[in-house]
Amino acid sequence: MAIRRGRGVAAINYPTGMNLGGDPTQALVHSTPTGNFMVTLSSVDLGQGMKQIMAQICAETIGVPTDRVVVDTADTDTGPHCMGTFASRGTHRAGNAVIQAAREARQVMLEVAAEELEVNASDLETDGQGNILVKGAPQRSISIFDVALSAHFKRGRSISGRGMFLIPRSYPEKETGAMKPSTCYAHACTVAEVEVDDETGEVTVLTVKNVFEIGRALNPKLVEQQLVGGSWMGISHALYETTEPYYPNRDHGGTDFNQYLMPGPGDLAETEIIVLERPSADGPYGAKGPGEMCANPQIPAVANAVFDAVGVRIDTLPITPERILRALKAQAGAPN
Amino acid sequence: MAKVPVQFTLNGAEKAEFIDSGTTLLNALRDKIGDTSPKGGCHQGTCGACSVILDGELRLSCLTLAETCNGAAITTTSGLSEGGVLHPLQRAFLDAFATQCGFCTPGMIMAAKVLLDHTPNPSRDEVVEALSGNICRCTGYEPIIQAVLTAARSNSQHAA
Amino acid sequence: MELRKSYFADQRKDDLHEIGQPRPRSDSPGHVTGKTAYFADRNFPGMLHLKMVRSPHHHARIRSIDISEVEKHPGVVKVLTAKDVPHNVYTILILIQIGPEDETVLADGKVRWKGEAVVAILAETERAAQEAAAKVKVDYEVLPAVFDMEEALKPGAPIVNEYHGQNYYLYDSGECRKVRLGDVEAGFAGADHVLEQAYQSSPIEHAPTETTGCIVAPEGNDRFTCYTNTQAMFFTLDNASIILQMPGNKLHFVGGTVGGGFGGKVDVIVEPIAILGAKLTGRPVSFIYSREEEMQISSPRAAEKVVIKDGVMKDGRIVARKVTGYTDAGAYSRHSPYGAQKGAGHYPGPYTIPNVWIDTYCVYTNRTPSSAMRGFGVTIGDFALEVQMDKLARLIGMDPLEFRFINAYRDGDMKAHRQPTEGAALIECMQEASRAANWPVAEKYLSMSSYTKGA
């Protein structure tokens, strides 16, 4: 009886957005009288930082600092339609809608600035700090604060824009299954290292090294949050989680956090996250959806590592000590 | 149903209410007094989201009867910042990006505060032990552990 | 976390101001001070509490429901049964034309899973609602139930859901969603090795720290505001509108920050019945799942069975892959027909294989209906695919990572569902993993690229 070590690898891809498309999201953007910007949506923030990312996307597109953007969302009386926050679609779909709305608002903003500066709007650029400059002559400039005041009180213009993003729905061909499930895919490769106690069947995940390709990390810290939490959930799925431990038997389902098991703060694997960026052709600033795929590769990587450690295949999730011990017994030729 | 009086201090302020006998401290705080910072994640003592500090000790407010808290001093996460200045733990949670959905955060901060009140320079294992009654489904725990360790370090620097 | 910018550097400009910056989250100060408002942080005077009376049986006919004692219970304000729900038989994906309507808001004549909602009680306090629930008398005639997908698909199995008429979802392509490329049997015939393996999972709970729920308040003008933690505002509003036969303009949904979703809050379960309760009583109504309900009543990730048969050559090329996927929908569709179909679009994984045959089935059994969860339609498939890849590599005596390089898809490769691959990055992820994990692979794999077949 011994503690045995093993490691396993898995590589995966994952589609961004609802399968087969057809999932719209809209956004509205407008400026306040003093040149702050309001993004109006009906998308839901589940904790992934939807509001923060939409603010950064709007700010980048308009050309102002992020703290000048406020996101108002999840109210059906004010926010235009969003299909919902799921299917790794929030950043991709809503982000594209916000870009389109922000571009329209930016154009009006530049037109008003052009009137104030007596130049063509096409000769203007933003400095990202809240100012609009004449290209090549940055001493000729106007603040976005002043442009917004002018638009509101002098020129009678609405610095606002409408955005809509929709991937046309694909319908699978009946016999061949020809279809377009998604327009872009995130990727991952995970190497997991485990210890298996062949006496108790207990698995300890020592390390997980995750490489994720996510298009573009729009806010690296928010991406990191998703990826670290997802990696934890993947390990949790691999080793612990089930509402029906003896499926398809319907008994013994857990009803609280004492019975429904997940790794606690004392059960964490040493986790390494590396991010690659291959911008997607239709993503907002190249982003793909990282939220779901980041929890997938750890499951097979752990399963393969368990095999590498003790030489038994557990092809049924979760990989519990009971399953490992039964497999070890079977391998040794003992009755189950 | 007969009402019973309860009186305690919440974040330093006197509170007095008449409640139904059998009301949990969690429901009294949220529904009667209006402090919604303790969260009801399970109402069965298994998630820690409802954690408060009662006379210096960590308590699951969902398993504590409000009528047993007469005369107690209760602290919740909503009472930690003073004059708009965040408590070092709150600051550390922000800086470590240790919140995602935020639902477990007030309970986590309560558990961490009791730890640091008793053990100002905890080891990682002590932090893990202190947080082990609190469930988080978003973060994978590591950022929370780091936030508590960071807060402990900043506390000890202040003390020095 | 490390950003490795050396990969795909030619495809990325770094001229942005706000994008790519690690800005602090605007919502975090609210989280750490306990000031962020979740739906349940609202308290309305006169608010009623809704509790469900649920089926104790996996499959049973309801002979009668007697609520006479319940209505007399102190604190009980209203008791709802199937006849009170205007459009009681519904399905949520009807909004994107995926029918038929197959689920009841409150059971009508039959229950199809243990835990199914039968009677809704609205009372002044949670305690009164709970006590009253015990006084509901339902006369059940227990029916044979089926829990195993293979059993469910056999002739003569008990029919789980009459709205479908058989224990699988009927796609326009028939009993399963199909993908066909090349000639998979010829591929097996010409392969050096053929390996067929079966993989199995069981249901998994999202377990958000905040349970599913909503609070509905009449606005006093014939409109109702529903404070909810749904993941999809209009999807829920529009389905509630159908179920309640109320124009959408009478409904106002307010969300906000949700205490974790993971796909568990996309079903439309709590909102319609709570709105109905508010409408019929004229009072605010709170319907929040207990942790026990969240664990065993709310939809889990489906259990899946995945059978993979592969033909592989000694040199490492996979020449044929046949995948048969079974998704256990439980008693009702919810999002499962979509999830099973998503699996068909995902297989055979990120590998280029010339001969592919995929069938994915959505199967009905007498268990808690499953639905969406993080990685919907893919997570369990990836477990199966990637364990199978490990087995294949060992079968031909090849390093598992190198084996994946040989088969990895690249730009321009035709996928099984007949779309050319675009934006591939699997090879680069594996190259970086090789380095980070100190898992050496031959130089020829390190010089490969997703851009071309040039290696």
* Domain boundary residue, one of A131, A165, A199: A165
Say whether B118 sits in a helix, a strand or coil: helix
Instruction: Identify the CATH number of the domain in which residue C107 sits.
Output: 3.90.1170.50
Q: Does some domain include residue C281?
A: yes
Q: How far is B103 from chain C (nearest CA, A)?
A: 5
| Predicted-assembly ipTM surpassing the 0.95 threshold | yes
- Check whether B156 has a pLDDT greater than 80: no
Q: Do residues C267 and C314 both lie within one domain?
A: no
C321 in A contact zone (CB under 8 Å): no
- Check whether B54 has a pLDDT greater than 50: yes
Give the Cα separation of C344 and C360 in Å (integer): 6
pLDDT at position C55 is 98
CB nearest B46 (choices: A48, A257, A271) = A257
Q: Does some domain include residue C372?
A: yes
Give the Cα separation of A329 and A322 in Å (integer): 11
Q: Do residues A8 and A97 both lie within one domain?
A: no
In sequence order, what are the residues at sequence separation of 6 or more whose Cβ sits closer than 8 angstroms to the Cβ of residue C20?
A: A216, A217, A218, A219, A220, C14
CB contact under 8 A, A268 and B97: no
* Domain boundary residue, one of A132, A165, A198: A165
CB contact under 8 A, C367 and A250: yes
**Residue pairs spanning A and B at CB distance below 8 A:** 62
Give the Cα separation of C337 and C360 in Å (integer): 10
Q: Do residues A217 and A89 both lie within one domain?
A: no
CB contact under 8 A, A266 and B128: yes
Give the Cα separation of A188 and C349 in Å (integer): 12
Q: Give the pair of three-digit tokens for residue A206.
A: 């020592």
Q: Do residues C263 and C189 both lie within one domain?
A: no
Q: Given a contact as 3+ CB pairs under 8 Å, which chains touch A?
A: B, C
pLDDT at position C197 is 98
Chain-wide mean pLDDT for chain A?
97
Q: Do residues C391 and C441 both lie within one domain?
A: yes
CB contact under 8 A, C259 and B102: yes
Q: Does some domain include residue A272?
A: yes
Partners of residue C290 in chain B, C-beta under 8 Å:
43
CB contact under 8 A, C382 and A297: yes
Q: Does some domain include residue C9?
A: no
Give the Cα separation of C207 and C86 in Å (integer): 32
Percentage of chain B exceeding pLDDT 70: 97
Interface mutation target, options B35, B36, B75, B150, chain C, most CBs of C under 10 Å: B36
Any catalytic annotation for residue A118?
no
> How many domains are contained in chain C?
2
Q: Give the pair of three-digit tokens for residue A213.
A: 């390709």
CB contact under 8 A, B77 and C127: no
Question: A162 pairs with which residues across the strands?
Answer: A28
Distances, alpha carbon B83 to alpha carbons B9, C26, C101, in Å:
19, 20, 56
Give the Cα separation of C16 and C391 in Å (integer): 45
Interface of C with B (CB under 8 A): 24-25, 27-38, 40-41, 43, 125, 127, 206-211, 257-260, 262, 290-292
Partners of residue B137 in chain A, C-beta under 8 Å:
233, 262
The half-sphere exposure of A98 on its side-chain side, counting CA atoms within 13 A, is 35
Q: Chain A window 192-221: which residues touch C at a Cβ cutoff of 8 Å?
A: 209, 211-213, 216-221
Is residue C307 classed exposed, middle or buried when 0-12, 13-18 and 19+ CB atoms within 10 A define those classes?
Answer: middle
**Domain B3-78, CATH class in plain words:** alpha beta
Biggest CA-to-CA distance, chain A: 90
Q: How far is B46 from chain A (nearest CA, A)?
A: 6
CB contact under 8 A, A256 and B144: no
A16 in C contact zone (CB under 8 Å): no
Q: Does some domain include residue A175?
A: no
Q: Does some domain include residue C429?
A: yes
- Report CA torsion sign: C156, C160, C164, C168: negative
Q: Do residues A29 and A8 both lie within one domain?
A: no
B121 in A contact zone (CB under 8 Å): no
Q: Do residues A301 and A324 both lie within one domain?
A: yes
Q: Give the pair of three-digit tokens for residue B104.
A: 């477990």
Q: Do residues A201 and A305 both lie within one domain?
A: yes
Partners of residue A49 in chain B, C-beta under 8 Å:
100
- Every domain of chain B and the residues it spans: 3-78, 88-159
In sequence order, what are the residues at sequence separation of 6 or more whose Cβ sits closer than 8 angstroms to the Cβ of residue A316?
A: A323, C199, C200, C201, C202
pLDDT at position C13 is 84
At the topology level of CATH, where does B88-159 sit? DNA polymerase; domain 1 (1.10.150)
* Domain boundary residue, one of C253, C280, C296: C296
- Check whether C455 has a pLDDT greater than 60: no
| Domain containing residue A55 | 25-165
pLDDT at position A242 is 98
CB nearest B47 (choices: A233, A257, A271) = A257
Output the CA torsion B118→B120→B124→B125 (10° steps).
-20
Q: Do residues C200 and C211 both lie within one domain?
A: no
The half-sphere exposure of C234 on its side-chain side, counting CA atoms within 13 A, is 20
The residue in chain A having the minimum alpha-carbon distance to the alpha carbon of residue C367 is A250
Q: Does some domain include residue A54?
A: yes
Q: Do residues C336 and C430 both lie within one domain?
A: yes
Give the Cα separation of C199 and A314 in Å (integer): 9
Q: Does some domain include residue A65?
A: yes
Q: Do residues C273 and C310 both lie within one domain?
A: no
Give the Cα separation of C340 and C325 in Å (integer): 8
Q: Give the pair of three-digit tokens for residue C85.
A: 């729900």
Q: Do residues A53 and A103 both lie within one domain?
A: yes
Interface mutation target, options C32, C39, C131, C298, chain B, most CBs of B under 10 Å: C32
CB contact under 8 A, B100 and A48: yes
Q: Give the pair of three-digit tokens for residue A285.
A: 């600033």
- Check whether B2 has a pLDDT greater than 90: no
- Check whether C51 has a pLDDT greater than 80: yes
Q: Do residues A98 and A220 both lie within one domain?
A: no
Q: Do residues A61 and A128 both lie within one domain?
A: yes
Q: Does some domain include residue C128?
A: yes
Q: Do residues A266 and A287 both lie within one domain?
A: yes
> How many domains are contained in chain A?
2
pLDDT in tens, C90-109: 999 999 889 999 999 999 99
In sequence order, what are the residues at sequence separation of 6 or more whose Cβ sits closer than 8 angstroms to the Cβ of residue C203?
A: A242, A243, A244, A247, C300, C301, C302, C303, C328, C367, C368, C370
CB contact under 8 A, B132 and A265: yes
Which of A199, A277, A292, A322 is labelled catalytic? Answer: A292
Instruction: Identify the CATH number of the domain in which residue A245 sits.
Output: 3.30.365.10
pLDDT at position B160 is 47
Q: How far is B136 from chain C (nearest CA, A)?
A: 7
pLDDT in tens, C124-165: 999 999 999 999 999 999 999 999 999 999 999 999 999 999
* Domain boundary residue, one of A107, A140, A165: A165
| Domain containing residue C350 | 177-204+300-446
pLDDT along chain A (336 residues), means of 10: 96 97 98 98 96 98 98 96 96 98 98 98 97 96 98 98 98 98 98 98 98 98 98 98 98 96 97 98 97 98 98 98 97 74
Give the Cα separation of C52 and C16 in Å (integer): 52
A16, A40, A18, A20: which is closest to A29 by C-alpha?
A40
Q: Count how many residues are written for chain B.
A: 160
CB nearest C200 (choices: A76, A181, A315) = A315
Q: How far is C111 from chain A (nearest CA, A)?
A: 16
CB nearest A75 (choices: C12, C254, C423) = C254
Give the Cα separation of C329 and C304 in Å (integer): 9
Distances, alpha carbon B61 to alpha carbons B54, B75, C212, C290, in Å:
9, 11, 21, 16
The residue in chain B having the minimum alpha-carbon distance to the alpha carbon of residue C31 is B102
B73 in A contact zone (CB under 8 Å): no
Vertex C250: Cα angle to C248 and C253 (nearest 5): 75
A228 in B contact zone (CB under 8 Å): yes
Q: Give the pair of three-digit tokens for residue C121.
A: 């009680």
Q: Where residue B157 falls among pLDDT bands split at 50, 70, 90?
A: low
The residue in chain A having the minimum alpha-carbon distance to the alpha carbon of residue B141 is A265
Interface mutation target, options A53, A219, A228, A236, chain B, most CBs of B under 10 Å: A228
Instruction: Identify the CATH number of the domain in which residue C327 sits.
Output: 3.30.365.10
The residue in chain C having the minimum alpha-carbon distance to the alpha carbon of residue B104 is C209
CB nearest B101 (choices: A46, A228, A262) = A46
Q: Given a contact as 3+ CB pairs under 8 Å, which chains touch C?
A: A, B
C181 in A contact zone (CB under 8 Å): yes
Distances, alpha carbon C166 to alpha carbons A67, B99, C154, in Å:
56, 46, 10
CB contact under 8 A, A277 and C3: yes
DSSP secondary structure letter of residue A123: G
The residue in chain C having the minimum alpha-carbon distance to the alpha carbon of residue B48 is C209
Chain-wide mean pLDDT for chain B?
96
Q: What is the residue-wise DSSP string for C320-361? A: EEEEEEEEEEETS-TTHHHHHHHHHHHTT-SB--SEEEEEEE
CB contact under 8 A, C19 and A60: yes
pLDDT at position A324 is 98
CB contact under 8 A, C34 and B103: no
DSSP-H helix ranges across chain B: 25-27, 88-95, 105-118, 124-131, 142-159
A105 phi and psi angles, rounded to 5 deg: -65, -40
Say whether B49 sits in a helix, a strand or coil: coil
CB contact under 8 A, C33 and B86: yes
Partners of residue A222 in chain B, C-beta under 8 Å:
97
Q: Identity (one letter) of the amino acid at A274?
A: I
Q: Do residues A189 and A327 both lie within one domain?
A: yes
CB contact under 8 A, A256 and B97: no
In sequence order, what are the residues at sequence separation of 6 or more whose Cβ sits closer than 8 angstroms to the Cβ of residue A147?
A: A35, A109, A112, A113, A116, A132, A159
Q: Do residues C254 and C377 both lie within one domain?
A: no
Give the Cα separation of C410 and C408 in Å (integer): 7
Partners of residue C260 in chain B, C-beta under 8 Å:
100-101, 103, 137-138
B16 in A contact zone (CB under 8 Å): no
Q: Where residue B155 falls among pLDDT bands split at 50, 70, 90?
A: confident
Q: Where residue B24 falls among pLDDT bands split at 50, 70, 90?
A: very high
Q: Is the separation of the CB atoms in B138 and A47 below 8 Å?
A: yes
pLDDT at position C454 is 47
B2, B16, B4: which is closest to B71 by C-alpha?
B16
Q: Identity (one letter) of the amino acid at C347?
A: Y
Q: How far is A114 from chain B (nearest CA, A)?
A: 41
Is residue A176 classed exposed, middle or buried when 0-12, 13-18 and 19+ CB atoms within 10 A define those classes?
Answer: middle
Q: Do residues A154 and A248 both lie within one domain?
A: no
Q: Does some domain include residue C267?
A: yes
Q: How far is A175 from chain B (nearest CA, A)?
A: 41
Q: Do residues A124 and A256 both lie within one domain?
A: no
Give the Cα separation of C36 and B105 in Å (integer): 11
CB nearest C4 (choices: A182, A241, A276) = A276
Q: Do residues C349 and C278 both lie within one domain?
A: no
pLDDT in tens, B110-130: 999 999 999 999 999 999 999
**β-strand pairing of C48-54 with C89-90:** unpaired
Give the Cα separation of B111 and B105 in Å (integer): 10
